[in-house]
Amino acid sequence: MTLISDLCKIQKRDLKNAVDVLTDAFSKESMWKEVFSDEEKNKILTEVMVRFCLKYGSVFATSENFEGVMAIAPHDKEMTTWTILRSGAFFLSMKISNEAKKMEVLTNAVEEAKKSLNLGPYIHLLMMGVSQEFQGKGFGGKLLKALIEKAETEKKSIYLETQKENNVKLYEKYGFSVKKKIILPEPLNLPMWLMVRQVRE
């Protein structure tokens, strides 16, 4: 029995529940408020990302009660027009096409910074969030511990990005370290920390 097998692996039928949890968890994130003018578009982006991970990676919930959700993807899968199309999220993404330029600025800045890290094979922790009513009760730790065990078994690093300085200290407790801090270009002009938990030999 592994920690990851104790989690609830999300299927397509669970998509709405997963999106609701992540939207609630990130409802106060300043970056998305800068990019999106309303909550509905924020929710659409979340669904696009979850669909991508359902197709190319994995999505897990802490339990069937969906207290928290994490979406992961392998290092060799990037969110492109083609992969979004194949994940079934193309028409959804068209609904946020007006914000696409801002998102492209964000993505390009992060990808450029990431190139210098020489990561090798890794698991990308694309999204992880706990519903506000369940925050501070250990559910985020449950997800992280399961992911770390999986990465160590597969001999892979874990890579993530966070826009919240408070999260940096949390991830450091689990063995992550900041590899680079960048300031996202205008119109966002917000900090982002690129963090890695190195593979343990």
User: What is the pTM (predicted TM-score) of this model?
Assistant: 0.87
**Separation between Cα atoms, residue 130 and residue 154, nearest integer Å:** 26
**Separation between Cα atoms, residue 56 and residue 195, nearest integer Å:** 22
Please report the pLDDT score of residue 21 as a whole number.
96
**Biggest CA-to-CA distance, the chain:** 47
* Residue 196: its H or E element: strand 191-197
Structure tokens, 113: 């910074």
Q: Which residues contact 138 (CB under 8 A, 6 or more apart)?
A: none
Q: Are 34 and 190 in contact (CB under 8 A)?
A: yes
Q: Say which DSSP state 200 is in.
A: P
| CATH code for the part of the protein at 4-197 | 3.40.630.30
Please report the pLDDT score of residue 111 as a whole number.
83
How, if at all, do strands 8-9 and 58-61 pair?
A: antiparallel
pLDDT per position in the chain (201 positions), as tens?
Answer: 799 999 999 999 999 999 999 989 887 665 555 555 567 777 877 888 898 899 889 999 999 999 999 999 998 877 655 455 454 445 455 555 565 666 667 777 888 898 889 888 999 999 999 999 999 999 999 999 999 999 999 999 999 999 888 899 999 999 999 999 999 887 678 899 999 999 876
